[in-house]
Amino acid sequence: MLEAAGMPKTEDAPRGRILLADDESSIRESLAEVLRQEGYAVDTAADGRAALTAVDGNDYDVVVTDLRMPGADGLAVLRRVRERAPQTLVLLVTAYASIETAVEALRQGAHDYILKPLILEDVLGKVGRLFEVRQLAWETQMLRRELDSRYDFEQMIIGRSPAMRAILELIRKVAPTPSTVLITGESGVGKEVVARAIHHYSRLHDKLFLPVNCAAIPENLLESQLFGHAKGAFTGALAANEGLFQRARGGTIFLDEIGDLPANLQVKLLRAIALKEVLPVGSNTPVRVDVRILAATNRDLRKAVEEQRFREDLYYRLNVVNIQIPPLRERREDVPQLVEYLVRRQNVELNKSFKGVNNATMKLMMSLPWKGNIRELENAIEHAMILGDGEWITPADLPRAVAQEGAALPAVGDNLKEAIRAYERGHIENVLGRTGNDKRKAADLLGVSLSSLYRKIEELGIAGAD
Ligand X SMILES: Nc1ncnc2c1ncn2[C@@H]1O[C@H](COP(=O)(O)OP(=O)(O)OP(=O)(O)O)[C@@H](O)[C@H]1O
State which residue, 236 or 327, has the beta carbon closest to ligand X. Answer: 327
What would the DSSP string read from start to end of 372-410? Answer: THHHHHHHHHHHHHHH--SSEE-GGGS-HHHHHHHHHSP
Is the torsion defined by CA of 254, 293, 210, 144 positive or negative?
positive
Please give the single-letter amino acid code of residue 10: T
Name the binder of 15 from Mg ion, ligand X, none, CB < 5-8 A by kind: none
Instruction: Please name every residue paired with 294 in a beta bridge, in sequence order, or none if there are none.
Output: 181, 254
CB of 76 to ligand X, least distance (A): 45
CB of 41 to ligand X, least distance (A): 30
Q: Please tell me the distance from the alpha carbon of residue 224 to that of residue 239, in angstroms, as a whole number.
A: 13
State which residue, 375 or 427, has the beta carbon closest to ligand X. Answer: 375
Please give the single-letter amino acid code of residue 219: E
CB of 191 to Mg ion, least distance (A): 5
State which residue, 47 or 192, has the beta carbon closest to Mg ion. Answer: 192
State which residue, 18 or 318, has the beta carbon closest to Mg ion. Answer: 318
Q: Please tell me the distance from the alpha carbon of residue 282 to that of residue 1, in angstroms, as a whole number.
A: 16
Please give the single-letter amino acid code of residue 233: A
CB of 365 to ligand X, least distance (A): 15
| HSE value, Cβ hemisphere, 13 Å, CA-based, for 235 | 12
Cis peptide before 117 (omega within 30 of 0): yes
CB of 255 to Mg ion, least distance (A): 11
User: CA 431 → CA 81, 420, 428, 452, 457, distances in Å?
Assistant: 62, 16, 5, 15, 12
State which residue, 277 or 340, has the beta carbon closest to ligand X. Answer: 340
Burial of 205 (0-12, 13-18, 19+ CB in 10 A): middle
CB atoms within 10 A of CB 216: 10
State which residue, 201 or 234, has the beta carbon closest to ligand X. Answer: 201
Using CB under 6 A, list all residues that contact ligand X. 157-159, 185, 187-193, 298, 341, 374-375, 378
Among 224, 247, 212, smallest CA distance to 15 is for 224
Name the binder of 189 from ligand X, Mg ion, none, CB < 5-8 A by kind: ligand X
* Closest residue by beta carbon to Mg ion: 192
CB of 389 to ligand X, least distance (A): 24
How close are the terminal C-alpha atoms of the chain, in Å? 62
Name the binder of 375 from Mg ion, ligand X, none, CB < 5-8 A by kind: ligand X
CB of 418 to Mg ion, least distance (A): 38
CB of 461 to ligand X, least distance (A): 34
Strands 287-288, 112-116: pairing is unpaired
CB of 32 to ligand X, least distance (A): 40
Q: Please tell me the distance from the alpha carbon of residue 380 to that of residue 343, in angstroms, as a whole number.
A: 11
Name the binder of 374 from ligand X, Mg ion, none, CB < 5-8 A by kind: ligand X
Using CB under 5 A, list all residues that contact Mg ion. 192
Name the binder of 233 from ligand X, Mg ion, none, CB < 5-8 A by kind: none
State which residue, 375 or 439, has the beta carbon closest to ligand X. Answer: 375
* Closest residue by beta carbon to ligand X: 190
State which residue, 192 or 219, has the beta carbon closest to Mg ion. Answer: 192
Name the binder of 31 from ligand X, Mg ion, none, CB < 5-8 A by kind: none
Name the binder of 27 from ligand X, Mg ion, none, CB < 5-8 A by kind: none
Name the binder of 209 from Mg ion, ligand X, none, CB < 5-8 A by kind: none
Q: Where are the beta strands (DSSP E) in 38-137?
A: 41-45, 62-66, 89-95, 112-116
Q: Are 343 and 357 in contact (CB under 8 A)?
A: yes
CB of 362 to ligand X, least distance (A): 17
The answer for 135, left when phi > 0, alpha when psi is -120 to 50, beta otherwise, is: alpha
Burial of 58 (0-12, 13-18, 19+ CB in 10 A): middle
State which residue, 192 or 429, has the beta carbon closest to Mg ion. Answer: 192
Name the binder of 58 from ligand X, Mg ion, none, CB < 5-8 A by kind: none
Name the binder of 187 from Mg ion, ligand X, none, CB < 5-8 A by kind: ligand X
State which residue, 374 or 443, has the beta carbon closest to Mg ion. Answer: 374
